[in-house]
Amino acid sequence: MKVLVTGGAGFIGGHVVDAYQREGFDVVVVDDLSTGHRRNLNPGARFYQMDIRDPAVADLLAEERPEVLNHHAAQMDVRRSVADPLFDAEVNLIGFLNLLEAGVRNGLRRVIFASSGGTVYGAEQNIPAREGDPTAPICPYGVTKLTGELYLHYYRHAYGLEYAALRYANVYGPRQDPHGEAGVVAIFTGRLLAGEVAVINGDGKQTRDYVFVGDVARANVLAARAAFSGEINIGSGVETDVNRLYAVLRAQVGVDTAPQYGPTKLGEQARSALAPQRAAEVLGWRPEVPLAEGLRQTVEYFRSCGAATGRSAER
C-alpha cells in the first residue's frame, strides 16, 4: 500500500513514517522543512520538499498516485493562530484542500488526518471528552482543525473518500523540537538539561492528556488499514496538570530547579483529556507507554543528543 505522509520530516510525522516503513508500506514524504528537519527523514521514503499550498502538489499526486494520504503538515502553533488567523487558515485549510482536490482526481482512497483533541472540543469540554461531545474551539487553530474534519465528511459524501480524523491529545516524546513545534515536555526537558529555569504559564493547575509519540504512530498504522470513517480520539483519558508534569521531569533529569510562573496565555484551556474507547473499538488501539516511562525515554533522548535550551515558556 502506498501512503503519502505530509509533514513527514516533523516530530510526529517522522515517527509515523518510520512506523509505516516498518510495516512494509511504500512511503512518500512531502515536507517544506519550515518546521521539520532532514534528520527526521526516513531514508527508505521518497522525499519531496514542497509546500502543500503549491499547485505542483497536483502533479506529484498524479505521478505517485497514493492510496492513502496521511496529513500531518500544518500550522500547529496555537499562539500564532491567534496572532495571525489568516496564515493559519491558509496552511491548514487551503493547503489541505489543495491535497484533497488533487487526491480525488488521482485515485486517493483514504485520508488519515491529524486533528486536535486538545482544541476542537473547546474550553467547556466534558472530561474526558468523547467523539460525540459538542465541539466549540476557542482558538483559530482548533477552528481550522475542526473545519478540516468537516471537509472530510463532505468529501466522503461527495466522492466516497474514506477517512479517519485522529484527534490527538498532547503528543510528546523523542525528536520533539524544543525550539519549533514544541510542546511543554520538550521545552521543560531542554531547559532543565541546560540548567536553566522553565516558565509555567498561569498557576500550573491546567491539565492535559499526554500520549507518547510511539503510541500515536502505531494508531496511524492501524487507521490506514481500518474500515472505519469518522473521528477518533487518540489519548489516555488521564489528566495531568503542568505542576505534576514538571515535578516528574525534574526528577527524571535529576535537578531541583524550581519553575517560574508567568501569565496565562490567550486561547489556553484549563482542562483537557480524551476518552480512548472508540480507538479501542474501531482500531484495536490503546496507549501502551505510561507517562513516567515515556518521559524517561524523552529525557534520555534529549540527554543523548545534547538538546539545546528550549523556549522560556510552556505551550
CA–CA distance, 158 with 166 (Å, rounded to integer): 21
3-state secondary structure the chain: CEEEEECCCCHHHHHHHHHHHHCCCEEEEEECCCCCCHHHCCCCCEEEECCCCCCCHHHHHHHHCCCEEEECCCCCCHHHHHHCHHHHHHHHHHHHHHHHHHHHHCCCCEEEEEEEHHHHCCCCCCCCECCCCCCCCCCHHHHHHHHHHHHHHHHHHHHCCEEEEEEECEEECCCCCCCCCCCHHHHHHHHHHCCCCCEEECCCCCEECEEEHHHHHHHHHHHHHCCCCEEEEECCCCCEEHHHHHHHHHHHHCCCCCCEEECCCCCCCCCCCECCHHHHHHHCCCCCCCHHHHHHHHHHHHHHCCCCCCCCECC
210 a catalytic residue: no
CA–CA distance, 50 with 131 (Å, rounded to integer): 33
Residue pair 161/230 in contact by the 8 Å Cβ criterion: no
Four-residue CA torsion sign, 89, 4, 294, 236: positive
Per DSSP bridges, beta strands 170-172 and 162-168 are unpaired
Q: Who's near 62: CB < 8 A, 6+ residues apart? A: 102, 105, 106
So which residues are the catalytic ones?
A: 141
